[in-house]
Amino acid sequence: MPGAEAMGELKLATPYARGALPALDEEATLDRLCAELAPLFAPPFDAERSSLAVVSSNAGARSAVEFWSQAQRVGLAVASPALFPWTLANAACGRLAREFGVRGPNYTFSGRAAALSSALQQLADDLHFARVTAGWIVAIDFAGPSRARTLFAALRAEEAHHVELVSTAANRRAHSRLCAAAQLRRLIPRSN
């Protein structure tokens, strides 16, 4: 499991993972992502008191377009329903929850920088109010018309950890762009 690491201007004191995947459909992408993230979800954790959030600006988009496109080609009456569940933006978070058995709050935030900020704040609140004892945030930038690969970054936070994230200037490094190109804030368990 990754330990603390520095990525340019971004310093984390919590388990973290990041990487890139080839352009695949969303279901296949999530299969690969589950393999990549498995170390980050290593037990122990309390399944019912752990949260999982996906942050993405385009989760479900490729599947939605493909589903409707297929339907137009073959006719509505015989369109295959197999792809339909993947057209929902929250399908990715559901897939991850099933893979790793995370049964607490399940969030999907739509957008880029602001969405990541929302996810961090939600995790901070959930830890602060003792609704959870652990949480993961997985940011996914799915491959599509404007990007050749799927980029992902993920972190795990628990009661004993804190995440200190700093505002950065535009960062051209593809991997860190997901997390770094945002206004971020301290995520520290509060004492009050």
Partner 1 sequence: MKPARVVVTGIGVASPLGLQLDELWRNVAAGAGAAREWPDLAEQGFRIRAASRIGSFEAPELRRGRELALHAARAAVEQSHATPPRNTGVFVGSTMGESAAFERAAEGAELDLEDFSVDSFTRALREAFDLGGPASSIATACAAGNYALGAALDALRAGRIDFALAGAAEPFSRLAMLGFSRSRAMAPDACRPFDRRRNGMQLGEGAAMFALERAEEAERRGVEPLAEVVALGLSCDAHHATAPLEDGSGMRRAMRTALEYAQVEPRCVDWINAHGSGTVRSDAAEARAIRELFDGNVPPVSGSKGALGHALGAASALEAALCIAGLRAGVVPPTFGHEVEDPDAGLRCEQRALEQPLDIALNNAFAFGGVNSCLVLRRWAN
Report the nearest approach of partner 1 to the CB of residue 179 (Å).
17
Q: State residue 87 phi and psi, 5-degree precision.
A: -75, -15
Partner residues linked to 12 by β-bridges: 5
Report the nearest approach of partner 1 to the CB of residue 58 (Å).
6
CA distance 27 to 63: 9
By CB under 8 A, is residue 108 in contact with partner 1?
Answer: yes
For residue 71, give the nearest of 62, 58, 80, 63 by alpha carbon. Answer: 80
Residue from 6, 44, 75, 191 in contact with partner 1 (CB under 8 A): 75
Residue from 17, 33, 37, 97 in contact with partner 1 (CB under 8 A): 97
CA distance 67 to 57: 19
Size of the site for partner 1 (CB under 8 A): 55
Residue from 3, 6, 43, 129 in contact with partner 1 (CB under 8 A): 129
DSSP symbol at 35: H
Span near partner 1 by CB under 8 A; candidates 9-17, 36-44, 59-67, 168-176: 59-67
Q: Is the dihedral of CA 169, 172, 176, 177 positive or negative?
A: positive
Compare residues 7 and 47 and give the one whose CB is closer to partner 1: 47
